[in-house]
Structure 1
């Protein structure tokens, strides 16, 4: 491989390949005489006239300008490990002084500079230099990441040129790595891992001047340089194109052509509208107009590939201004940011659902207190005036409406992942078969129900009642999507998730049972699909549903450490896929049977602790009806004083969340220390206040509002 160094007498400033401006005699970048560039069997071809030289020089300048615009460092060393070409980004990224980069500078000089300033850590400097030079002499392709002492992370990608040296590309991926760590931290909270691509390229325009001497020899060198730069730009992991003032492509690298779904030959010479299509062209046109006016423009856009997948790009348009001040065209520099956009969208959706869940949980506590008062008073009215038929015509519907309110609150708590679950190992196939029998009698006969179950039984670890409710909700949604009838299919299959991939959220790695509910109904468009899990969002009529069905399914699956997603399109039906953690065939432990009848009281003294006066009044009334004597306190401090002073107290019933600095579970713990064996019942408006977990530590079964008088009686005397 031979190297030539050509000298031009030029007073025009910076020349192609020169990395410092100057006057007088300037050295052009030595060019490789590659065998692959066929020019009269490898020999230089004279340029017959100035027009041929100008065309060759223009192509050379165009390619060099594109190379200088990328923010990745680039070097080319020959077979003797001497510098042939570089760009300014290489010096900037690695903090090399400008005077170190000269044509013919040995590779060892750069290694020595790094070693002497401690880039390779402590150790023998000469040994560090010798080892790295020896590895370079092997001319092997390599890709690695290097962390500099200041924390900067560089990706180094070396591509050998057989028998002619190698090209090395240096990419600063510090921002990318920092963002990936940020995404990983977010995924630790949201059970998902996401990845992102490199930061957008920033371009800067650089003008090149025409040279006026040694036309034949320089033109031949420019042709060789053009071929070399084409190879380099096709290696760079970015989409690079040049568009003239008439919006016609004059250059495109392989990455840009691949992004458009074409070859380079079918891009170059075509208009942007032809390549991008009319719809996308209209979206890009405002940015193109700004570039035509001489403005540098940055923007993001998306396009739909032939396989139907939407991909995203971040682009920068950098105008090229001619000597007359007119815009000659502009460079388009783009990166594929699809994974980054998907990751950001998934994160925003998860944060939105989390915020709505927190709000739902807070509202549930207040509504449960209100419903406790409403149902308690209605139940008392129903019991005392059971024979007043006319009055019961008003009372009974009110009780039913209040109970429906309790169900709405339960669904809210399920969505917000605050509903207490009782997970156990479930044989999913048996549950689905039993549910199918119920559905066949509940759904219209115009809907055909089929199941696809594995030969071997599959077990999931989840709350069976919540799973049944979730599948019922999905079945009823499918019914509503098929008003004229159709097919409902439920499939069960094992699934193993080995790692989290892509931008969409996934469950943790492990074994799962996948339950898929298919229908061939009307399906959903993209806007509806994006909001499907939002609470109270519904496309049904005002009296057709609460909008909590899919929200409840989402909350239940998330709380069960699983994953749920929907596949749907207008006119193509819907498939809802639930992945629940796999269980074992070990049968769940049997629960002790509840006391079949209300246990009677004989005037035992009960201490009732509740800060809400109306709620306290209702519970006191129920206790009196059950035959208990009642002491009342509206905070934990007052209750502790009563426990110390009144030995006759046989049971303490306390709300969990109370003012005064002493919560219900703290009261229970201190009361047990004061009076070992004292029976304590904790009541709660929701599960967010940790009543279930803390009460379990004290051996207490919490009682959740609103509750009936019978449930209260069983909580005080749970039976054998």
Structure 2
């Protein structure tokens, strides 16, 4: 945009005629960033928005070289595009720059060559738009798609992995019983079997947390007094911290009761505490603070939760903190800033998945060299009434629980079937085996002596465990049915199916006994 050759103003600069003044008012008002530079790489014009983008004014950028106005970091990104435009090519490209608040801004610019009468390029018109919000939306969509893909992958793997753990734990329990008859059995069990069982149970817990993160594992929410839970966890966390890191807890209010799965909440707090420990390699302070927070409509919308009262658990450290780019990806599955082998990148993703599944939200604030605060917000509920201790039930001998009863065991994995058959046999049952639902249905129709059906849910052949259970209720309603699942797919069950007892694999003998007692009444 070239200056008008009208009568000079008092300051010596040419005056703008009304039409050019009006044009500049328009370009300063429209939501776009407009500029012009000549073939010598010098700005001749920039509208108000364009100039403010680079921390200057329209007058302040006029007659200044491009690198001086936009800075070396942005110039390194756009230099090649400017050369192409000054060679006569219309160019569109994207670039980023630091914003006033430290967050990255993203822009898309189009350079249109300005040809003179002789066909030579005199300069270039610049039209730029802010695409930061579009980038954020795209990143959020990509994150949601990635989380969905991870959830589907987790659900598919969980069934097979839990089958393996069922075999491992079943055989370890059998070995434990066999060692009980040896003089050195207790020592051998303590040294070899019990650590293996603990590791297998830890693997089962990891699968449950992964499924909770992917929202395929039902959680068991209870009214939990958060202050008491945090105090109990603080003692456990203290043993996991080096001497250079201190831990303190505080509560701004008594009686903070949230509706949440206590085991999952304990895992989430431990995960956050270990992350805080890693962020303070030279020592520091870990603080866990509980309070009530009331979210209005705007604050609730930011966290994608309902407005109302929440219990806030803030886990803070004064460690290394995070920059903006790291903070933006902090809940992304498999994203980690730790060295290879030091972290899976799933910890915070699982915390986020669990809190969202519990109807809450997560807020993270962090500054480099200052520290990080992660706030877990959980729906607050009224305190649960105290329950008086009930007298213990009369002991029932497990060994005779299924004495004289014919049990149909339906499981497509032969190794799992073998382990569960042995568990049923120890309870006094005679066991029939079927590999799929159709085979089991034929047996139910033709063998009147069957007195209980124990079936896996996920099976090949078109008839899964739930379909088999419906078949049994229709043709032999007197037969109790217990289902087993490598991952509990209760969300897809109807009301009638939801009443069936489900054993989550891997399960112990005690869990099997409890499910069978419930089914047998």
TM-score, structure 1 length as denominator? 0.64
Asked if 1:608 is matched to 2:396, the reply is no
Partner of 1:384: 178
CA apart distance, 1:333 = 0.9
Paired residues of 1:517 and 1:576 also in contact (CA < 8 A): yes
Query: Paired residue for 2:111, among 314, 317, 327?
Result: 317
Query: Paired residue for 2:381, among 583, 589, 613?
Result: 583
CA apart distance, 1:316 = 0.9
Asked if 1:679 is matched to 2:494, the reply is no
Paired residues of 1:522 and 1:572 also in contact (CA < 8 A): yes
**Whole-Å separation in 2 of the counterparts to 1:221 and 1:409:** 74
Partner of 1:201: none
Task: Give deviations 1:52-90, integer Å, cap 9, x for gaps.
Answer: xx962699xxxxxxxxxxxxxxxxxxxxxxxxxxxxxxx
Query: Paired residue for 1:555, among 319, 332, 353?
Result: 353
**Whole-Å separation in 2 of the counterparts to 1:686 and 1:468:** 21
Structure 2 CA distance for partners of 1:587 and 1:473, relative to 1, 3 Å? farther
Query: Paired residue for 1:507, among 304, 307, 311?
Result: 304
**Whole-Å separation in 1 of the counterparts to 2:195 and 2:455:** 31
Deviates more, 1:325-334 or 1:551-560: 551-560
CA apart distance, 1:553 = 0.9
**Whole-Å separation in 2 of the counterparts to 1:269 and 1:545:** 52
**Whole-Å separation in 2 of the counterparts to 1:536 and 1:223:** 60
Asked if 1:700 is matched to 2:500, the reply is yes
Structure 2 CA distance for partners of 1:612 and 1:487, relative to 1, 3 Å? same
**Whole-Å separation in 2 of the counterparts to 1:683 and 1:474:** 33
Asked if 1:496 is matched to 2:295, the reply is yes
Structure 2 CA distance for partners of 1:259 and 1:541, relative to 1, 3 Å? closer
Query: Paired residue for 1:402, among 184, 197, 200?
Result: 200
Paired residues of 2:102 and 2:324 also in contact (CA < 8 A): no
CA apart distance, 1:634 = 1.5
Gaps of 5+ in 2: 8-13
**Whole-Å separation in 2 of the counterparts to 1:707 and 1:572:** 45
Gaps of 5+ in 1: 1-53, 60-219
Task: Give deviations 1:225-273, integer Å, cap 9, x for gaps.
Answer: 2112122222222111111111211112122122222121111121211
Partner of 1:263: 57
CA apart distance, 1:396 = 4.1
Partner of 2:458: 657
Asked if 1:230 is matched to 2:28, the reply is no
Partner of 1:153: none
Deviates more, 1:318-327 or 1:348-357: 348-357
Structure 2 CA distance for partners of 1:332 and 1:578, relative to 1, 3 Å? same
CA apart distance, 1:417 = 1.7
The SS at the match of 1:307 is coil
CA apart distance, 1:385 = 3.0
How does 1:28-427 map onto structure 2 within 5 Å?
56=4, 223-386=17-180, 387=182, 389=185, 392=189, 393-427=191-225
Partner of 1:473: 271
Structure 2 CA distance for partners of 1:240 and 1:526, relative to 1, 3 Å? closer
Task: Give deviations 1:544-596, integer Å, cap 9, x for gaps.
Answer: 55554323212211222322243334433222222223333344989998886
- Specify the structure having the higher radius of gyration (Cα): 1
How does 1:436-455 map onto structure 2 within 5 Å?
436-440=234-238, 442-455=240-253
CA apart distance, 1:527 = 5.9
The SS at the match of 1:404 is helix
Partner of 1:29: none
Paired residues of 1:665 and 1:691 also in contact (CA < 8 A): no
**Whole-Å separation in 1 of the counterparts to 2:106 and 2:16:** 36
**Whole-Å separation in 2 of the counterparts to 1:373 and 1:432:** 36
Structure 2 CA distance for partners of 1:479 and 1:221, relative to 1, 3 Å? closer
Paired residues of 2:303 and 2:363 also in contact (CA < 8 A): no
CA apart distance, 1:529 = 4.4
Structure 2 CA distance for partners of 1:453 and 1:692, relative to 1, 3 Å? farther
- Tell me which of the two structures has the higher relative contact order, counting C-alpha pairs closer than 8 angstroms and 6 or more residues apart: 2
**Whole-Å separation in 2 of the counterparts to 1:260 and 1:590:** 68
RMSD between aligned residues: 3.2
Task: Give deviations 1:203-224, integer Å, cap 9, x for gaps.
Answer: xxxxxxxxxxxxxxxxx99822
Partner of 1:107: none
Structure 2 CA distance for partners of 1:501 and 1:430, relative to 1, 3 Å? closer
The SS at the match of 2:96 is strand
